[in-house]
Amino acid sequence: MSHLMAGVLLSRDPAQLENTLRDIRLPFQPQVLSAVLRLRDDTRMDFIELDRLIRADQNIASIILKMANSTFYSRGQEIRTLPQAIGMIGFRTIVSIVAAASAKSIFMSGNYARFRRYVWQHSLVTSIIAKIICEQMHWKNLSEEVFIGGLLHDIGKVILNHLDREKYIAVFNKTFETGKPFRFAENELFGIDNAIVGQMVIKLWNLPNVYREVAVFTHRPTDETLSKLPEKDQQIIRIVGLANQIAKINDFGYLETDSALAAADYFASLGILPGSPLETLNWKEAIERDPYYQVFAFIG
C-alpha cells in the first residue's frame, strides 16, 4: 500500500526527506546488513558473530545452505550446518550472499514484472558483472564492495516504487515512451530522482559511505565532484558504472535511446586499455553460469 497520497511530491529538503524515508517499513532488516558489512574475517569472534547474524534470518540461512550445496561450491560434499557453509564458501563471499539475499527481499516488494526485470534483475546482474570485472582485471580486493555497490546502485527506485507503486508504474510508462533515463520521469512525477532518495536511505540504514556515493555517481564517471573522493571509492564507483552499462547493453536492464555514455567512457575512466579481456568476454554466458545468478535471478 502506498504511504503517499496521490499527487504529493517528495521534498528535496534533506531534513524533510529524511523524515519521510525514516517512516518506511520494508520486508528487510537493514541493521543485519549493516552489522555484517562491518565484520572482518580475521577473528574468531567475527566468525561467531556472522554465524549468529545469519541464524537470526531463516531466509538468509536457507539461501546460504542452498548456495553451499550448489555444484559451484560443494564438490559433492553435503553441507548441513552454517559453520560448515561459512568454511566452505568463505567469510567474505558469505557477506556478499547476505547482501544479495537482503537486497532481493527489498527489491521483490516491487512485485510486478517490469520492476522485477528492470530493477531487481538488472541490479543483480550489475553486481555480478562488477565482480567479474574485478576478477578479470586482478582487482579482487574490490570484489565484495563492487558487488554490494551493484546491488544497491538503484535502491532509490525501490523506495520510490514502495512509496507509490501506481506513480512508479507511470514512471516506467513515461520512461519507455521517451527513451530518456528514469530520473526525468521521476523528477516530473515525484519531484525527486532515485539517486537522491537512494543516498539518503543508505545513510539511514547506516551502511558504509561508499554505497551512498555509488547511488549518486554511477552514471557520472567524469563528474568533477567524483575526483574529490578517495581514490578507492572512485574506482569502485566507476567499476559499478561500467558493469551497469554492460548489463544494459546485454539486455539486462533498460538502455536509454539517447545515452551519452558508452562502455568506452568507463574503460577510459578506469584506465582499461584496448585489448583487455573484458572486450571479448561472452557476458551473457558468464552471467548465466554465475552461482549468484543461478540462486537469485529467477523473477517469475
* CATH number, domain with residue 168: 1.10.3210.10
Looking at residue 211, what is its pLDDT?
A: 95
Cell numbers 548441513 label which residue? 80
Determine, yes or no, domain membership for 74: yes
Q: 171-225, pLDDT tens digit by residue?
A: 999 999 999 999 999 999 999 999 999 999 999 999 999 999 999 998 887 788 9
Last residue of a domain, one of 72, 89, 107: 107
Angstrom distances, CA of residue 73 to CA of 67, 78, 79, 84 = 7, 10, 10, 12
Number of separate domains in the chain: 2
Confidence check: pLDDT of 74 > 80: no
Determine, yes or no, domain membership for 70: yes
Q: What is the mean pLDDT of residues 280-296?
A: 91
Check whether residue 40 and residue 64 sit in a common domain. Answer: yes
Check whether residue 166 and residue 297 sit in a common domain. Answer: yes
Check whether residue 102 and residue 118 sit in a common domain. Answer: no
Check whether residue 124 and residue 217 sit in a common domain. Answer: yes
Last residue of a domain, one of 76, 107, 138: 107
Q: 116-131, pLDDT tens digit by residue?
A: 999 999 999 999 999 9
SS3 164: coil
Q: Judge whether 70 and 266 are in contact, CB under 8 Å.
A: no
pLDDT > 90: percent of the chain: 47
Confidence check: pLDDT of 4 > 50: no
Confidence check: pLDDT of 8 > 60: no
Check whether residue 82 and residue 141 sit in a common domain. Answer: no
Residue type, 38: R
SS3 95: helix
Instruction: Name the pTM for this structure.
Output: 0.89
Structural domain that includes position 45: 27-107
Q: What is the mean pLDDT of residues 261-282?
A: 85
Check whether residue 76 and residue 33 sit in a common domain. Answer: yes
Determine, yes or no, domain membership for 20: no
Check whether residue 125 and residue 100 sit in a common domain. Answer: no
174-201 per-residue burial string, b: 16 or more CB within 10 A, e: under 16: bbeeeeebbbebbbebbebbbbbbbbbb
Confidence check: pLDDT of 148 > 70: yes
Residue type, 291: P
Looking at residue 125, what is its pLDDT?
A: 97
